[in-house]
Structure 1
Amino acid sequence: MSTPVPSASPSPTAVRGSRLQIEGLGLQIGGATILKDVALDIAAGSLVGVIGPNGAGKTTLFNVVSGLLRPTEGRVLLDGDDITTAGVPARARAGLGRTFQTSSLFPRLSVLENVRLAAQVSLGGSTSLLRFPRRGDAATALALEKLEAVGLSHKSDAAAGDISHGDKRKLEIAVLLATEVSIVLLDEPMAGVGSGDVAGLVQNIRDLHQEKGCTVLMVEHHIDVLMGLVDKVAVMYFGTIIAYDTPERVMADPTVQSAYLGTGAA
């Protein structure tokens, strides 16, 4: 098992991470219980992994936290503010960003334009796709800086839909780096990524966490990658949290070994 990488102290100009509290969260759909009494307290600036068998409720939890689904019970708090009933735009304005299992990029726009759009919004500019800033302005400079950080500056003019899956994941990180996020939900960032791209993507996630000082909550099936990256691990099983501790303690937990690791689930 890999040793967790200690988090570097964020720079003075980094975005301060937000504390995320999930209290007694429950979700029922069509009479079926999807989430039940989920409770997590994620410290500001921490990097937390979420694991569990397929169908355990990981993506559903992300959907509730990001505002795509409304819980039937419980609360979600961001820095102490109750955002349980807030919509997706309001949560984004509060500093919550997310990536999805499938890409949410603008495929017909260039790699640079995808990041530049995020940068211009972050700098207080227009959200219109028809009003991109000129090359050489502050938004473009910021976008180019973030593309350089994730190793995609040489593909800045390529259409986002034409680059590899691994590069799309890197581009999503660059978009987040260009925004004012204080907490990020990464939903299976390594899914479909070739082995040659994993190390670079792991470094991109470290940079996102350390450079901006933001809180990162990450669902990932690649256990070896996850354990070498996070501070704590939350284990989901049948819609609830059965363990939340350091990677070493979670891996040694008999309940986790029996319910998850012993099942051979991906």
Structure 2
Amino acid sequence: MSNPVPSAPAHTPAPSALRVENLGLQIGGATILKDVDLDVAPGSLVGVIGPNGAGKTTLFNIVSGIMTPTAGRVLMNGEDITTMSVPARARAGLGRTFQTSSLFPKLSVLENVRLAAQVAVGRDYSLFHFPSRAGGAKKDAATQRALHNLDEVGLTHKLLTPAGDISHGDKRKLEIAVLLAMDSKIVLLDEPMAGVASGDVTGLVDNIRELQERTGCTVLMVEHHIDVLMGLVEKVAVMYFGSIIAFDSPAEIMANPLVQSAYLGTAA
């Protein structure tokens, strides 16, 4: 009698890169977010749109740990991070940019990225002794990493320029280099095109696409430039009055009557 062929083990799907479940936020008597559910697959590029006041930045603030929800939870790669601190989330691989620059304006372009690289290479206090000349940079791991990341975004020609003196578009590129240096696995970009000159938009879009393709990271991007967003992302979440009313491909979102009436037809 032959032995039975063992059945194949059941396939366990990989956890979502980022998942928010029944997320809510109330401040005083005001409901800011209500029953927000979002499931983002690993390695995807997702856009988040909605009129001003819809809750987009509040959602990012909760995911990044700046704000604490009054209901629901946030999971990163299957782990509940709802109460995790901002630094702990950064160490776990969650990176974030803001509508206004969070760079150190008096430090050079290289120094900004080099500080971020320390998160990835470890805490060696000697790394705080910055070289006065790029050519004489100490060949430590943080410097090497920073130089590589700046080359990836096309800013090697401005290594010694103070971050506060570069153009707005270059600041956005510098912020992406910082995220690369930190080895962020999940990246939240809050209106990266805001204030960027039209001539710099294409280069910045290429940087974002290359960031996702080269590293395989998961990107969530709030953006009011709908034409730019729809040509970049794989899926779009639409927020309206603190809730997500649609989550689909760009083509389906543009054809959705609810989205058209709630947002696309009225947005400035």
Q: Same fold (TM over 0.5)?
A: yes
Q: Which runs of 4+ in 1 moved over 2 A?
A: 125-138
SS in 2 for 1:216: strand
CA distance in 2, matches of 1:129, 1:255: 53
Answer whether contact 2:25 2:71 (CA < 8 A) is retained: yes
SS in 1 for 2:39: strand
Say whether 1:217 aligns with 2:217: no
SS in 1 for 2:184: coil
Question: Where do 1:85-124 residues align within 5 Å?
Answer: 85-124=83-122
CA distance in 1, matches of 2:127, 2:196: 29
Answer whether contact 2:91 2:119 (CA < 8 A) is retained: no
Answer whether contact 1:120 1:127 (CA < 8 A) is retained: no
Map of 1:62 onto structure 2 = 60
C-alpha distance after superposition, 1:152-186 (max 9, x if no partner): 11011000011111110000001111112110000
CA distance in 2, matches of 1:137, 1:162: 26
Q: 1:90 to 1:120 in 2, by over 3 A?
A: closer
Say whether 1:236 aligns with 2:234: no
Per-residue deviation, 1:209? 0.5
Answer whether contact 2:16 2:39 (CA < 8 A) is retained: no
Q: 2:144 aligns with which of 125, 141, 144?
A: 141
CA distance in 1, matches of 2:180, 2:16: 16
Q: Percent identity?
A: 76
Answer whether contact 1:50 1:236 (CA < 8 A) is retained: yes
CA distance in 2, matches of 1:146, 1:206: 15
TM-score, normalized by length of structure 1?
0.90
SS in 2 for 1:180: coil
Per-residue deviation, 1:127? 6.8
Map of 1:168 onto structure 2 = 171
Residue type matched to 1:114 in 2? N
Report how many residues are paired: 250
Map of 2:11 onto structure 1 = none
Per-residue deviation, 1:135? 2.6
CA distance in 1, matches of 2:237, 2:125: 35
Which structure's relative contact order is higher, taking Cα pairs within 8 Å and 6+ residues apart?
A: 1
Residue type matched to 2:186 in 1? I
- Which runs of 5 or more residues in structure 1 are unaligned? 1-16
Q: 1:128 to 1:76 in 2, by over 3 A?
A: farther
Per-residue deviation, 1:237? 0.2
Q: 2:38 aligns with which of 40, 44, 49?
A: 40
- Which runs of 5 or more residues in structure 2 are unaligned? 1-14, 132-136
Answer whether contact 1:107 1:159 (CA < 8 A) is retained: yes
CA distance in 2, matches of 1:145, 1:53: 38
Answer whether contact 2:32 2:242 (CA < 8 A) is retained: yes
Tell which structure's C-alpha radius of gyration is larger: 2
Map of 2:23 onto structure 1 = 25
Coordinate RMSD, CA, aligned? 1.7
CA distance in 1, matches of 2:98, 2:125: 21
Map of 1:192 onto structure 2 = 195
Say whether 1:159 aligns with 2:162: yes
CA distance in 2, matches of 1:255, 1:21: 24
